[in-house]
Amino acid sequence: MSVVQLAPVVVDDMTTDDVAAVQAVEQASFPHPWPGDAFRRELTNNRSARYVVAREAGEVVGYAGLWLMVDEAHITTFAVLPEHRRKRIGERLLVRLFEIAEVMGAEWLTLEVRVSNIPAQRLYEKYGFRRAGVRRRYYSDNNEDALIMWTDRIRERAVRDRLAKLRQALDEP
């Protein structure tokens, strides 16, 4: 029996060269995707924004982004190609967003997630996000509610310890 070696997943900063591939992930993930020029504008004009991509064998298979608003890092978008989900790529993206938020001086991370997106909610809860409220009829495609989720202060020892432990587990076979 042979062992199949998977290509490592690399998470790095999104560039304008990645926009077409990111748009493909966006279209495969959302009923009303952002237009490609929105990502280009974010990368070139929004100094409060940071975006990353996950690559497997050189192919963009996921991406995520955040905006720093005063002292909070708001995760604005997050997606992994459907055929690449359940491979911990989302976790790698999320770990990188925690790192970026800390470097940018954020105190917390926050996001909205569809009430029906249980797998995403479980991922966020694993990383210490807690439900903080509901935005009624937030999603314009179907008027679905969004859960608002927040972390504790990301510089607190418990948050840092949790992140270190989860990051280490990502690197284990």
Domains of the chain: 9-171 (3.40.630.30)
Tell me, yes or no, if 63 is annotated catalytic: no
Catalytic residue among 42, 112, 144, 156: 112
Enclosing H/E stretch for 31: none
Is 112 an active-site residue?
yes
Phi, psi of 158 (to 5 degrees): -65, -40
pTM here is: 0.91
In 3D space, the residue among 146, 144, 166, 164 whose CA is nearest the CA of residue 156 turns out to be: 164
pLDDT digits (tens, 9 = 90+) for 34-59: 887 999 999 999 999 999 999 999 99
| pLDDT given for residue 5 in this prediction | 45
